[in-house]
A and B are shown apart, each in its own frame.
Chain A
């Protein structure tokens, strides 16, 4: 439905409709644009201009960006990449090691990290080709565990659990520039993946995700699209991992733990499967709430994670569509009410 709409828009040569077409392909609604503007102004609005709140914001944006890349796989081809955090770690380690050993600037290193994570994602995609559903999740989980094991055990390269001291992007101690770096990275992730999912490729993804045999029967090549999806998602994971490495300045194998994947997974699911933006939107209030909970109730460590789990379960059982579905249903109801108010004669 969406594609026919965009196709008809494409035919008209009117400038404003071309802008609208671009916006719809990139997934920007007026409300979304307003949200982005608010996000960009947030560091100047009083409570958020403190450094520790900025750190929370950066953490939230990092999780948000990861949730976007994660949902790109989970929500579209219905494959849970349970080793997601490991790919993040691969990108982080690649970039960090390049910077530490060869003095390559992090600005280039994060792209090398993305490339290496993409290669591993490609290999994992090829590895999991013959497998279906849950086996893909298990396989990617095992790949993640193997990568975690390597990061822990190749002590002479990664220094193991001691961690690497990585150079940061900038020499400043202020968090403000980092916030804009990660927000730009997040928006770039969002726009690229949104562009892909709004094109015919996204349609193919959805077909594969719903019924792989039906998709194959109707001429969609699952091999190509699945590997492509995995590669792209992992490339973004690796890229974001590079930010992690060069923002926090210390890199341990902890980044690759399954628990990190679970964190992203919970946010992506609460945000809404297959929406791309849902997880990113939800990440900010949630990370803030959880960080606040963690800092104010420090005698109860882990409470925020219990809530994570609880929320994941509740959403999975009672509201599988997550926040995105809530938004859509509210919007539809609002539109219906406005229509009814406009033409009172129409009963239905």
Chain B
């Protein structure tokens, strides 16, 4: 941190450093996104911006989890959306009885707290499902063969996704399980638009989780180990990192993040078996946009894709918000398969 070069750079070169990072593909993308956001805000009013910022945080978390799993385990996770669905389902199953109980025995404090119970339960169940997935499925395949690992593990996640979707449908049915809102409070006023408390809380929760997640990856011992594995598996084995533990942890973490997104967005996405499909697409758009395995980029990319979708559905019409981002993502895949922000992930060109 405090090496001489570091200090000189901070003293002398921060302007050049800034210009350099702003003229990179990542910088240009972010600048364009900010520009578009400003233009759209002037054109349509601030609600476009507010809408994309609110959900963007949660998409960023989904994408970060997806990216992390790809970086550490080389798994292209098709079942990530199903963890979102599990999040919505658990949050609903916990929150709904709680509200009914609280309707009979009113308690102001508990009413404020109860949504968090649902969200926390969602996170815990998500993590457990992640562990089960790793132990029962991926570990079994890894133990047997690593040949064509990326493709085979991808197909395994496809199978997991089918099982989770239809398993939930079998047990809990295919009806919409939604709630009108978490907090029955008047909306907050911000930039002249009214934001519901739910959205505001989700936004804060997203930012907080991002910060914690970031701190965990950058500053803690386990976080460093995770990054080490994603950079060089053999090397990290040599310095004594327990690979199995890191892999279980990574999948649990990623699943917990997806479940968190699901649990906290329950008021926007009522729970039904295939609710995870859309978040899955979005997470994939983000990951392709910024580059597979680039966790930091995913956090920014969440907002960019959310903005893109809000704008598309506003200017072109609802229903098109998947087609346009798909087209853009396809172009990016063609021009720069490693993503706009670039990513260095082992085994990315492995067949």
Residues of chain A having any CB pair with chain B under 8 Å: 78, 80, 127, 130-135, 137-139, 142-143, 145-146, 149-150, 152-153, 211-212, 258-259, 262, 265-266, 269, 300-303, 305-306, 308-310, 312-313, 316-318, 320
Contacts and interface: CB of A to CB of B under 8 A. Distances in A.
Interface string B121-165: 000000000000000010011001100101110111011111101
Contacts of B317: 153
Contact of A317 (B156, B166, B330): B156
B247 to A, nearest CB: 16
Interface of B: 76, 137, 140-141, 144-145, 148, 150-152, 154-156, 158-163, 165-167, 169-170, 174, 273, 277, 281, 284, 288, 317, 319-320, 322-323, 326-327, 329-330, 333-334, 337, 349-351
Nearest to B316: A153
23 contacts: A78-B148, A127-B330, A131-B337, A132-B351, A138-B284, A139-B333, A142-B329, A145-B281, A146-B327, A211-B351, A212-B351, A258-B277, A262-B161, A262-B162, A266-B162, A301-B174, A303-B170, A306-B162, A313-B137, A313-B156, A317-B140, A317-B141, A320-B152
A308 B162 contact: yes
A313 B159 contact: yes
Contacts of A317: 137, 140-141, 144, 156
A149 B320 CA distance: 7
A320 B146 CA distance: 12
Given A153-B320, A259-B162, 18 more contacts: A78-B351, A80-B151, A130-B334, A132-B349, A135-B333, A137-B76, A138-B288, A142-B330, A145-B281, A146-B327, A153-B317, A262-B158, A301-B169, A309-B161, A309-B163, A310-B159, A313-B159, A316-B152
B151 A312 contact: no
Contacts of A133: 150-151, 349-351
Contacts of A303: 166, 170
Contacts of A212: 351
Given A153-B319, A306-B166, A312-B159, A134 B151 contact: yes
Nearest to B147: A320
A149 to B, nearest CB: 4
Contact of A150 (B151, B159, B284, B323): B323
Contact of A137 (B145, B154, B159, B167): B154
A12 to B, nearest CB: 39
A235 B76 CA distance: 28
B326 A145 contact: yes
Contacts of A127: 330, 334
A135 B337 contact: yes
A305 B144 contact: no
Contacts of B351: 78, 132-133, 211-212
Contacts of B167: 302, 306
Contacts of A139: 330, 333
Nearest to B155: A316
Contact of B151 (A137, A145, A318): A137
A142 B319 CA distance: 16
A135 B162 CA distance: 21
Contacts of B76: 134, 137-138
A121 to B, nearest CB: 15
A300 B326 CA distance: 35
Contacts of A306: 162-163, 166-167, 170
Residue of A306, A309, A312 most packed against chain B (CB within 10 A): A309
Contacts of B151: 78, 80, 133-134, 137
Contacts of B319: 149, 152-153
Residue of B137, B166, B322, B349 most packed against chain A (CB within 10 A): B166
Nearest to A258: B277
Contacts of A265: 155, 158
Contacts of B166: 301-303, 305-306, 309
A301 B349 CA distance: 40
Contacts of B329: 142
A269 B156 CA distance: 11
A19 B73 CA distance: 51
B141 A146 contact: no
Contacts of B162: 259, 262, 266, 305-306, 308-309, 312
Listed from nearest, the 8 A-B pairs whose CB atoms lie closest are: A302-B166, A309-B162, A149-B323, A309-B163, A312-B159, A305-B166, A313-B159, A302-B169
A310 B284 CA distance: 24
Contacts of B150: 133-134
A134 B167 CA distance: 27
A261 to B, nearest CB: 9
B158 A146 contact: no
A179 B351 CA distance: 39
A287 B317 CA distance: 39
A266 B330 contact: no
Contact of A80 (B144, B155, B327, B330): B155
Contact of A146 (B137, B152, B155, B330): B330
